[in-house]
């Protein structure tokens, strides 16, 4: 059961012999997929400007390595799924966002069939990580229910993916530009375990305070890994988990961040910017309105999440080896 459900002991798991999947040498040589940490590529191509995106991606990968795990940035290049990138490939996706199509779950098959280059979102990174047997995924923040939901019915595909894909997402909560209470309700409906890490309140990306209590709390990476094992092995659950890690402290008050978010959302509405283009626009405007502080926090929090995610992967690897042994 541990082999069939967790799919993480040894490298011969689903996707390894798939001609559409290209592994970096580092990922291919990993002793187990349990030790590999998936990273999305949209945060690199669309989430931060050059060259901060490249340097941050390199630092995140190094943090994971130093913590004893293996980083695997995931994207689509010339129609092939790449799990782990070389330095040249990472630089390629970071330098020019216009050549990288933003790919959610619905877009992956088309990008592969057409031989396109594409950056994966939270939803599509989960999809591809699960395909190859990776169980831990680190990102900045997840998508959610948009504040304009009643007018637009805009709900991120990240939430439905969490309800059907057994991957643990380590993040700084849902992005502050979203409706966090509604996001939490939606995740409950999807049967997703949502937990705060070493705190009781679910974080809100730029700030640790969302005023929304998390349903669960984890105080260690061991707690997270043990819960993953119970979910996958004992229950055979098909849903994922969200581990919300509070971001580093801000120098700017959360109230001033909220003002910047509100203004950016109004501007997006006035310019009729919707769908996949809305979040990048709003995040970029918030960075401008906060004189770059939101970008700094974004860079800091994803590094913080990488440390926690690597510790979880290391614990999962240890538990799997102990059980099999």
Which residues participate in catalysis according to the annotation?
A: 40, 175
Q: Using the structure block, give the residue that is written with the tokens 């592994």.
A: 23
**Quick one: which of 165, 164, 183 has its CA closest to 173?**
183
SS3 state of residue 267? helix
Strands in the chain per DSSP E: 21-23, 36-39, 70-77, 80-83, 101-103, 118-120, 136-138, 168-171, 193-197, 216-218, 241-244
- Interatomic CA distance for residues 140 and 133, integer angstroms: 21
Give yes or no for a contact between 132 and 21, defined as CB atoms under 8 angstroms apart.
yes
**Quick one: which of 154, 130, 155 has its CA closest to 38?**
130
Give yes or no for a contact between 115 and 56, defined as CB atoms under 8 angstroms apart.
no
**DSSP labels, 163-180:** HH---EEEESBB-TTB-H
Token duo for residue 18: 């798939």
Give me the residues paired with residue 194 across strands.
242
Phi/psi-derived region of residue 254, left when phi > 0, alpha when psi is between -120 and 50, beta in every other case: alpha
């Amino acid at each position: 059961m541990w082999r069939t459900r967790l799919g993480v002991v040894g490298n011969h798991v689903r996707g390894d012999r798939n001609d559409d999947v290209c592994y970096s040498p580092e990922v291919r040589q990993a002793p187990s997929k349990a030790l590999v940490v998936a990273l999305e590529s949209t945060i690199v191509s669309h989430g931060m400007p050059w060259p901060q995106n490249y340097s941050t991606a390199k630092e995140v990968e190094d943090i994971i390595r130093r913590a004893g795990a293996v980083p695997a940035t995931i994207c689509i290049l010339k129609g092939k799924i790449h799990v782990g990138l070389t330095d040249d490939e990472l630089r390629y996706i970071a330098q020019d966002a216009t050549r990288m199509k933003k790919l959610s779950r619905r877009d992956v098959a088309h990008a592969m069939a057409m031989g396109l280059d594409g950056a994966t979102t939270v939803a599509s990174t989960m999809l591809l990580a699960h395909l190859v047997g990776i169980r831990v995924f680190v990102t900045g923040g997840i998508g959610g229910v948009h504040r304009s939901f009643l007018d637009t019915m805009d709900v991120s595909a990240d939430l439905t993916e969490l309800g059907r894909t057994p991957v643990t997402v380590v993040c700084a909560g849902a992005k502050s530009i979203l409706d966090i209470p509604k996001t939490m309700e939606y995740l409950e409906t999807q049967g997703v375990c949502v937990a705060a890490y070493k705190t009781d309140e679910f974080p809100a990306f730029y700030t640790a305070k969302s005023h929304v209590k998390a349903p669960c709390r984890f105080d260690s990476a061991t707690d997270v890994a043990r819960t993953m094992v119970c979910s996958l092995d004992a229950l055979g659950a098909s849903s994922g988990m969200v581990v919300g890690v509070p971001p580093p402290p801000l120098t700017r008050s959360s109230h001033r961040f909220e003002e910047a978010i509100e203004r950016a959302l109004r501007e997006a509405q006035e310019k009729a910017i919707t769908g996949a283009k809305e979040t990048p626009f709003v995040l970029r405007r918030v960075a401008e309105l906060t004189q770059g502080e939101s970008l700094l926090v974004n860079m800091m929090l994803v590094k913080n999440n990488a440390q926690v995610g690597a510790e979880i992967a290391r614990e999962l690897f240890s538990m799997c080896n102990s059980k099999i042994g």
